[in-house]
């Protein structure tokens, strides 16, 4: 993972913790299928969080970088996580996105709850 990715995940983790989330995992990988940046618990929901960080808008805003292929990989990886932990079908889940953009030196954080659906 590059320096920007780490920085984004640290910002996102702090953001979530301040809002009552408990981080239970980071950078969970499922072979070539993908990775989940942050896995957290909020109230009675297991939340899979994709973090996107942009230090400038040269290539667009952070939220714009999450396409259908990326969403499908996240869902597949989340399913694998649930199976591996033996909790598939036993917990409520949600997919969130935290998009972090640095614009004119200021950090803007967008937390999109239920950013996308996935069949688990």
Q: Give the integer Cα–Cα distance in Å for 39 and 20.
A: 13
Closest Cα to residue 44, out of 94, 118, 107? 94
CATH number of the domain where residue 17 is located: 3.40.1350.10
Determine contact, residues 38/25, Cβ cutoff 8 Å: yes
Q: Is residue 119 part of a domain?
A: no
> Tens digit of pLDDT for each residue in 80-109?
999 999 999 999 999 999 999 988 889 999
Per-residue pLDDT for 17 more than 90? yes
Q: Give the pLDDT confidence score for residue 6 in this predicted structure.
A: 87
The domain total for the chain is: 1
> Which residues span the domain enclosing 50?
3-112
Per-residue pLDDT for 16 more than 90? yes
Question: 């409520």: which residue's tokens?
Answer: 92
> Tens digit of pLDDT for each residue in 22-80?
999 999 998 777 899 999 999 999 999 999 988 767 666 667 778 888 899 999 999 99
Q: Give the pLDDT confidence score for residue 30 in this predicted structure.
A: 86
């Amino acid at each position: 993972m590059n320096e920007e990715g780490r920085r984004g995940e640290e910002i996102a983790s702090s953001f979530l913790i301040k809002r009552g989330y408990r981080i239970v995992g980071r950078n969970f990988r499922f072979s070539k299928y993908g990775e989940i940046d942050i896995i957290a618990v909020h109230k009675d929901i297991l939340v899979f969080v994709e973090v996107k960080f942009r230090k400038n808008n040269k290539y667009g805003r952070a939220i714009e970088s999450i396409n259908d292929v990326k969403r499908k990989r996240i869902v597949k990886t989340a399913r694998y996580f649930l199976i591996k932990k033996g909790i598939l079908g036993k917990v409520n889940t949600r997919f969130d996105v935290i998009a972090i953009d640095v614009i004119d030196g200021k950090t803007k954080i967008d937390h999109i709850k239920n950013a996308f659906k996935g069949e688990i």
